[in-house]
């Protein structure tokens, strides 16, 4: 049985990843600073356990990592999915606000990598997926969060190159807009809340957590055994091009 750790497991995307890994037969540790939610999820899902993890604290990360490695061994699969997005432009947010995004998203992923990758290296195998974002590839708002996600994309390549020789693969997934708890609340108040965003997606819809989970679990699986250092965009075609712009420019003769 494979041991997996999913950070940010309280989120909708995190929970979808956990469910999919469990269905594939893995034992999954749900790590999040929202302990109440991960405990509730783990209670209903055999083959899982919940732990409190605060990515802002190197001590917390080291403690949780050491405990997991001691009890379960080095993880076979690791998903860095926790994030914080305070949003806003660099002109509109103060230092404390943008620094929190960088601390959780980028420094948090570095802390977890430092704490767990040496054990995976020693084990001689393992797969990591970092959840990045289309925001790491271009401008979609949330400036500090986006800069941090761009850092995660670079970190993924660095770790892939460094740990590849030891049998550890490191990839990332870049989701576009995915319906999460916040968006579900928006949609409950207004079923058309995402209509304007949907227009930008060539596939005609925004994402659901399972779209991301399927990509993550593929990259963690042995089916991806010769894939490392890559980013898989799960974005309904958002980054492929802009049909609205093509139309504004006179359209494509083939479309
Ligand atoms: N939803 C989207 O549209 C979207 C788009 C692109 C990328 N993503 C990425 O997918 C992942 C999950 O997204 P979501 O929208 O479901 O997430 P979300 O924002 O709803 O949840 C983030 C999770 O991280 C946890 N977290 C926050 N700070 C933490 C800390 N200090 N220590 C430990 N855990 C902490 C939260 O408790 C929560 O469970 C994130 O990495 C996010 O950046 C989401």
pLDDT digits (tens, 9 = 90+) for 187-220: 999 999 899 999 999 999 999 999 999 999 999 9
User: Is 49 among the domain residues?
Assistant: yes
- Asked whether residue 255 carries a pLDDT value surpassing 80, the answer given is no
User: Is 172 among the domain residues?
Assistant: yes
- Asked whether residue 10 carries a pLDDT value surpassing 90, the answer given is yes
User: Is 16 among the domain residues?
Assistant: yes
User: Is 43 among the domain residues?
Assistant: yes
Confidence of residue 116 (pLDDT cuts 50, 70, 90): very high
Domain count, the chain: 1
Ligand 1 close to Cβ of residue 113 (< 6 A): no
Per-position DSSP letters for 172-185, written without gaps between them: EEEE-SB--HHHHH
Ligand 1 close to Cβ of residue 82 (< 6 A): yes
Closest approach atom of ligand 1 to CA 103: 31
- Domain containing 161 — which CATH number? 3.40.50.720
Nearest CA to ligand 1 atom 21: 11
Distance, in Å, from the CA atom of 152 to the CA atom of 133, rounded to the nearest integer, reads 9
- Mean local confidence (pLDDT), 106-132: 98
Is 139 part of the annotated catalytic residue set? no
Distance (angstroms) between ligand 1 centre and the Cα of 8 equals 6
Ligand 1 close to Cβ of residue 129 (< 6 A): no
Q: Among 2, 27, 139, 145, which one carries the catalytic annotation?
A: 145
Distance (angstroms) between ligand 1 centre and the Cα of 9 equals 8
User: Is 247 among the domain residues?
Assistant: no
Confidence of residue 254 (pLDDT cuts 50, 70, 90): low
Distance (angstroms) between ligand 1 centre and the Cα of 6 equals 11
What pLDDT digit, counting tens, does each position of 127-169 carry?
A: 999 999 999 999 999 999 999 999 999 999 999 999 999 999 9
- Asked whether residue 252 carries a pLDDT value surpassing 80, the answer given is no
User: Is 146 among the domain residues?
Assistant: yes
Residue 253 has what pLDDT?
59
Nearest CA to ligand 1 atom 18: 11
What pLDDT digit, counting tens, does each position of 65-108 carry?
A: 999 999 999 999 999 999 999 999 999 999 999 999 999 999 99
User: Is 44 among the domain residues?
Assistant: yes
Which mutation among 6, 7, 13, 210 tests ligand 1's pocket best, with the greatest number of atoms within 8 A of CB? 13
Distance (angstroms) between ligand 1 centre and the Cα of 251 equals 37
Burial bucket for residue 117 (CB in 10 Å: 0-12, 13-18, 19+): buried
What pLDDT digit, counting tens, does each position of 226-245 carry?
A: 999 999 999 999 999 988 88
Is 149 part of the annotated catalytic residue set? yes
Residue 242 has what pLDDT?
85
Range of the domain at 161: 3-176+210-233
Cα–Cα nearest to 212, from 181, 180, 234: 234
Q: Among 2, 139, 149, 223, which one carries the catalytic annotation?
A: 149
Angle (CA) 208-255-247 rounded to 5° is 80
Nearest CA to ligand 1 atom 24: 82
User: Is 130 among the domain residues?
Assistant: yes
What pLDDT digit, counting tens, does each position of 31-59 carry?
A: 999 999 999 999 999 999 999 999 999 99
Average pLDDT of the chain is 96
Taking only Cα atoms into account, the Rg of the chain, rounded to an integer number of angstroms, comes to 18
Which residues are registered as beta bridge partners of 51? Answer: 31
């Amino acid at each position: 049985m494979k041991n997996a750790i999913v950070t940010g497991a309280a989120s909708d995307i995190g929970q979808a990843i956990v469910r999919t890994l469990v269905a594939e037969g893995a034992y999954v540790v749900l790590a999040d600073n929202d302990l109440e939610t991960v405990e509730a999820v783990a209670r209903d899902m055999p083959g899982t356990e919940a732990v409190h993890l605060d990515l802002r604290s190197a001590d917390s990360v080291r403690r949780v990592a050491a405990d997991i490695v001691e009890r379960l061994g080095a993880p076979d699969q690791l998903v860095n999915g926790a994030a914080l997005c305070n949003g806003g432009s660099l002109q509109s947010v103060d230092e404390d606000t943008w620094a929190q995004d960088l601390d959780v998203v980028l420094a948090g992923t570095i802390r977890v990598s430092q704490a767990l990758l040496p054990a995976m290296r020693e084990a001689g195998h393992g797969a990591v997926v970092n959840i990045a974002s289309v925001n790491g590839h271009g401008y979609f708002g949330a400036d500090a969060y986006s800069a941090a996600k761009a850092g995660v994309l670079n970190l993924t390549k660095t770790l892939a190159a460094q740990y590849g020789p030891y049998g550890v693969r490191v990839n990332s997934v870049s989701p576009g807009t995915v319906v999460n708890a916040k968006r579900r609340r928006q949609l409950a108040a207004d079923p058309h809340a995402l209509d304007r965003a949907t227009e930008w997606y060539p596939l005609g819809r925004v994402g659901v957590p399972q779209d991301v989970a399927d990509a993550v679990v593929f990259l963690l699986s042995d089916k991806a055994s010769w894939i490392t250092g890559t980013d898989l965009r799960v974005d309904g075609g958002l980054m492929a091009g802009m049909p609205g712009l093509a139309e504004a420019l006179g359209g494509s003769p083939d479309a």
